[in-house]
């Protein structure tokens, strides 16, 4: 990781087409501006993590999901499967 100290108005160049400008410094926070081509994704990490967690939670099916779906569709419950002998 490269660690730099910059003052307000100073810039950091990444490659030929990404420019990060320090806009303001308040207390323990820094405002930055990012100029990048439209095809470059710029995302806040905490937002990506929150969306990922929400998607994982939404994809989880409750334990009784199959039974509730069958009941809603009027389908009979499946026959129990025989347990293998040990």
11-40: per-residue pLDDT in tens?
999 999 999 999 999 989 999 999 999 999
Interatomic CA distance for residues 31 and 47, integer angstroms:
17
Structurally, the chain folds into a number of domains equal to 1
Structural domain containing residue 30 = 9-36
CB 10 within 8 A of CB 21: yes
31 domain-assigned: yes
43 domain-assigned: no
13 domain-assigned: yes
Per-residue confidence (pLDDT) for residue 62, from 0 to 100: 82
65 domain-assigned: no
Per-residue confidence (pLDDT) for residue 56, from 0 to 100: 92
85 domain-assigned: no
- For 47-79, how does the pLDDT look when each residue is reduced to its tens digit (9 = 90+)? 999 999 999 988 888 888 888 888 898 877 777
More confident residue, 9 or 71: 9
Interatomic CA distance for residues 71 and 79, integer angstroms:
15
56 domain-assigned: no
What three-state secondary structure class fits 81? coil
CB 46 within 8 A of CB 54: no
75 domain-assigned: no
């Amino acid at each position: 990781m490269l660690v730099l100290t910059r003052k307000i108005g100073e810039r950091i160049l990444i490659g030929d087409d990404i420019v990060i400008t320090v806009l303001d410094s308040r207390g323990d926070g820094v405002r930055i501006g990012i100029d990048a081509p439209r095809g470059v994704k710029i995302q806040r990490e905490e937002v990506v993590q929150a969306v990922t967690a929400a998607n994982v939670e939404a994809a989880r099916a409750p334990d009784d999901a199959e039974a509730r779906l069958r009941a809603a569709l009027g389908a009979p419950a499946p026959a129990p499967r025989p347990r293998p002998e040990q």
